[in-house]
Amino acid sequence: MKSIGYQFRERDVRSVNELGHALRAARKAKGLTQGELARIACLRAHHISMIETGSTKPTSATIFILLAALDLDCVLSPRGSRIDGRSSNIEDIF
Q: Each residue of 53-81: pLDDT tens digit? A: 999 999 999 999 999 999 999 888 777 65
CA Rg value for the chain: 14
Q: Give the domain ranges of the chain.
A: 16-74
Kindly state the average pLDDT of the residues 38-44.
97
- What pTM did the predictor assign? 0.77
Secondary structure, 3-state, 27-56 = HHHCCCCHHHHHHHHCCCHHHHHHHHCCCC
Q: How high is the pLDDT of residue 8?
A: 62
- CATH level 3 topology of 16-74: 434 Repressor (Amino-terminal Domain) (1.10.260)
Q: What are the distances in angstroms from CA 90 to CA 14, 54, 86, 94?
A: 10, 20, 14, 8
